Chain A
Amino acid sequence: MKKGYFGQWGGAFIPEVLYATFAQLNTEYEKARADAAFWQEYVELMGNYSCRPTPLTYAENLSNHFGGARIYIKREDLNHTGAHKANNVMGQGLLVKRMGKKRVIAETGAGQHGVATATMAARFGFDCTVYMGEEDVARQRPNVFWMEKLGATVVPVTSGSRTLKDAMNEAFRDWVSSMDDTHYVIGTVCGPHPFPEMVAWFQSIIGIEAHKQILQQFGRLPSRVYACVGGGSNAMGIFQGFLDTPEVELVGVEAGGEGIDTDRHASRMTGDRASAGVAQGYKTMFLQNPEGQMLDTHSIAAGLDYVGVSPILADLGEQGRVRFEAATDKEVVDALALSMRKEGLIPALESSHGFVQAFKEAPTMAGDEAIIINMSGRGDKDIFTVAHAFDDPSWKKFIVDRGNEYSK
């Protein structure tokens, strides 16, 4: 198979001006991948800086509540900066050091990847610019605050739909001018080769740990593993721990928004609005019209609000190795509420998509089966979004009062 392809998906559809940059990146990535000391350095860094290995928590109360499979939760929320995004950025940070570059740029939707990149840049001493859709800047002010305090420059993107895909386009536009000293830290398993494969490699640390942990705690493999899918990096991370064991079913849960039969969702693998296409440097299933113009997407979770999906997941879906489902905004808020009340866990709205599908299926499974849900990030840092989703009256009053105080 052609390099950088997963079945018919993937590739590197890049402008010629980036040819040399990608040639260098491929060389350095392949060198690092072949070097056991690099992975060792990465694991040590993540252990020392980001709480790895993250625990696999047995959710006894939720298991009893549903009365079916035993539910285990992989705690990526306990990473530094609160999500699995840290795995990818620290890995790419080590690579940037090897390449001798001094500046990193990133795209961000909700701001998690932006905050993670700004954190990595601070730690490694790189300059950092983060591109963020104007609409997301307005919605995710707290993350903009942290990025700026961490020393990054946040550039609001005013083109297109002013969300994640537009931020990605703008980061590419920066990169074609600045590639001599700048690395583009793509936040997910998308984009031109080697990004999907490279980011999946850094995220595989989740699956490697989870495989070991479930054997220790449960004694056997789980029947199913659930993960939310935006670009797909947390899903690829945990799935890789179980890809070679076909008895483990892998379930990816997309953003169903207001329903996959409406035009307000971000489901590429479920529903019928997506089709094969080539954009942002790679070939995958995109939400687009028949002429190839990208559509606007919607999700309550900004991190899943994206037109494309990992080419690796598109291939695994086509092969039938990963089953795709969708969760609606409303189901997501209900699953989040239940997880808080039953287990004291606050999954991010993104992660809660995986919880929705697991909760639907757990009661139909036997008591001697186990399932794992990847809790890709924590929701408490998203207090503005979550409180808004819950439409909480006392929170609203607090915001109004604080607003009044500031406007005095």
Chain B
Amino acid sequence: MVRKSMELQTELQQRLKKKNILLMTHLVLGYPSLDTNKEVIEQMALNGVDCIELQIPFSEPIADGPVILKANQQSLEAGITVEQCFAFAAEMAAKYPDVCFLFMTYYNIVFKYGEAAFLRRTRDVGLVGTIIPDLPPEEGEQYFALSKELELAPITFFTPTSTAERMTEVAQQGEGFVYCVARRGVTGKQTAIDESLDSYLEQCRQATGLPLAVGFGISNRDDIAMLTGKADMAVIGTATIRLVDEQGAAAVGPFIAELAGAA
């Protein structure tokens, strides 16, 4: 099933009629193994996750903190390839049509594959969009244009350092949703859910009509309860990787169920 990017936004807005807040999870492909990834995705899908970011490992993941960095490295050491990631993504997208899958990776992976070839295949295997943290709109003109042509959502970012003007500029380039980075820094550190986050999210809301996904340091039920009503989707990244490291794939289901309960 191929979802179209115009539809990712619509799809998320449809879901928001039934849920107060959506959930997006993340995993690093090949860490600790593709087999474990499969079990984890099954648990996520069965417990009502809306979107899943599939991270294609890169040797220089500059926006990621220690946990995801280590996962990238170990997956590469175990020999993961981009080809395997595409095959795996195709299988998952076919198996779980209710989940919106996106690729997350760094631009060099796309560049080496060829922008057009990468995006066409991403669409063909049934993914709905891509998240490339080191490709700002200024450098990604072709990429953004081609994504839209192929009806894939190129996800853009808001951050607490973004001015209102910049947010408007960036949001115009993106589709699907906007990834609102909750704080400065890299992935995996706890974020204080406080008043400054509230005013930041208000600012984000004013800059775009796209749904707002909030990530970086969101890890528990309380975080999600606090975000409900202020954001449209909570992004759980490092927390699930830690959980799988510590308790195995089977722990993911109850964890997601609990989060979904808070939402």
> Which stretch in B41-49, B58-66, B146-154 binds the other chain?
B58-66
> C-beta contact mask, B95-112 vs A, less than 8 Å → 1, else 0?
000000000001111011
B242: Cβ under 8 A from any A Cβ:
no
B203: Cβ under 8 A from any A Cβ:
no
Q: In the complex, what residue of chain B is closest to A286 when comparing beta carbons? A: B108
Contact of B112 among A17, A179, A288 (CB under 8 A): A288
A13 pairs with B60, CB closer than 8 A: no
B156 to chain A, nearest CB (A): 8
Chain A residues in 8 Å Cβ range of B133: 15-16
Chain A residues in 8 Å Cβ range of B59: 160, 293-294
Chain A residues in 8 Å Cβ range of B65: 173
Q: Is the interface of B mostly helix, strand, loop or mixed?
A: loop
A292 pairs with B108, CB closer than 8 A: yes
Q: Is the interface of A mostly helix, strand, loop or mixed?
A: mixed
B36: Cβ under 8 A from any A Cβ:
no
A57: Cβ under 8 A from any B Cβ:
no
A131 to chain B, nearest CB (A): 12
Q: In the complex, what residue of chain B is closest to A165 when comparing beta carbons? A: B60
A290 pairs with B112, CB closer than 8 A: yes
> Which stretch in A230-238, A273-281, A337-345 binds the other chain?
A273-281
Q: In the complex, what residue of chain A is closest to B185 when comparing beta carbons? A: A177
A172 pairs with B62, CB closer than 8 A: yes
Chain B contacts with A in 226-263, Cβ cutoff 8 A = none
B139 pairs with A169, CB closer than 8 A: no
Given A20-B162, A160-B73 in contact, is the A280-B136 Cβ separation under 8 Å?
A: no
> C-beta contact mask, A1-45 vs B, less than 8 Å → 1, else 0?
000000000011111111111000000000000000000000000
B158: Cβ under 8 A from any A Cβ:
yes
B181: Cβ under 8 A from any A Cβ:
yes
Chain B residues in 8 Å Cβ range of A159: 66, 69-70, 73
B62 pairs with A19, CB closer than 8 A: no
> C-beta contact mask, B154-177 vs A, less than 8 Å → 1, else 0?
001111111100100010000000
Contact of B186 among A13, A19, A176, A292 (CB under 8 A): A176
Chain A residues in 8 Å Cβ range of B158: 16
On chain A, which size bracket covers the interface?
A: 35 or more
B185 pairs with A169, CB closer than 8 A: no
B181 pairs with A12, CB closer than 8 A: no
Contact of A20 among B82, B139, B163 (CB under 8 A): B163
Task: Count A-B pairs with CB separation below 8 Å.
Answer: 106
B184 pairs with A13, CB closer than 8 A: no
Contact of A179 among B81, B166, B184 (CB under 8 A): B184
A177 pairs with B73, CB closer than 8 A: no
A284 to chain B, nearest CB (A): 11
Contact of B76 among A20, A286, A293 (CB under 8 A): A293
User: Once bound together, how far apart are the Cα atoms of A21 and B61, in whole Å?
Assistant: 20
Chain B residues in 8 Å Cβ range of A279: 60, 106, 108
User: Once bound together, how far apart are the Cα atoms of A300 and B106, in whole Å?
Assistant: 31
A391: Cβ under 8 A from any B Cβ:
no
B136 pairs with A12, CB closer than 8 A: yes
Chain A residues in 8 Å Cβ range of B185: 173, 176-177
Chain A residues in 8 Å Cβ range of B113: 291-292
Given A20-B163, A291-B82, A291-B109 in contact, is the A12-B157 Cβ separation under 8 Å?
A: no
From B73, B163, B185, residue with most partner A Cβ within 10 Å: B185
A278 pairs with B186, CB closer than 8 A: no
B135: Cβ under 8 A from any A Cβ:
yes
Chain B residues in 8 Å Cβ range of A177: 184-186
B138: Cβ under 8 A from any A Cβ:
yes
B112 pairs with A292, CB closer than 8 A: yes
User: Once bound together, how far apart are the Cα atoms of A20 and B159, in whole Å?
Assistant: 10
B202: Cβ under 8 A from any A Cβ:
no
User: Once bound together, how far apart are the Cα atoms of A19 and B167, in whole Å?
Assistant: 11
User: Once bound together, how far apart are the Cα atoms of A172 and B62, in whole Å?
Assistant: 7
B161 pairs with A179, CB closer than 8 A: yes
Chain A residues in 8 Å Cβ range of B186: 173, 176-177
User: Once bound together, how far apart are the Cα atoms of A178 and B185, in whole Å?
Assistant: 8
Contact of B139 among A13, A17, A178, A290 (CB under 8 A): A13
User: Once bound together, how far apart are the Cα atoms of A159 and B71, in whole Å?
Assistant: 11
A277 pairs with B108, CB closer than 8 A: yes
A17 pairs with B107, CB closer than 8 A: no
Contact of A19 among B69, B112, B135, B136 (CB under 8 A): B136
User: Once bound together, how far apart are the Cα atoms of A13 and B181, in whole Å?
Assistant: 17
Contact of B134 among A20, A173, A281 (CB under 8 A): A281
> C-beta contact mask, B173-198 vs A, less than 8 Å → 1, else 0?
00000000100111000000000000
Chain A residues in 8 Å Cβ range of B156: 16
User: Once bound together, how far apart are the Cα atoms of A15 and B60, in whole Å?
Assistant: 13
Chain B residues in 8 Å Cβ range of A176: 63, 184-186
Chain B residues in 8 Å Cβ range of A169: 60-62
Q: In the complex, what residue of chain A is closest to B181 when comparing beta carbons? A: A17
Chain B residues in 8 Å Cβ range of A275: 112
Chain A residues in 8 Å Cβ range of B66: 159
User: Once bound together, how far apart are the Cα atoms of A14 and B135, in whole Å?
Assistant: 7
For the complex of A and B, the 5 pairs showing the least CB-CB separation, nearest first, are A292-B112, A177-B185, A16-B157, A17-B159, A292-B108
A-B residue pairs in contact (CB < 8 Å), sample of 11: A13-B135, A17-B157, A19-B162, A19-B166, A173-B62, A177-B186, A178-B184, A279-B106, A291-B81, A291-B82, A292-B113
A contact residues vs B (CB 8 Å cutoff): 11-21, 159-160, 165, 169, 172-173, 176-179, 275-281, 286, 288, 290-294
B contact residues vs A (CB 8 Å cutoff): 58-63, 65-66, 69-70, 73, 76, 81-82, 106-109, 111-113, 133-136, 138-139, 156-163, 166, 170, 181, 184-186
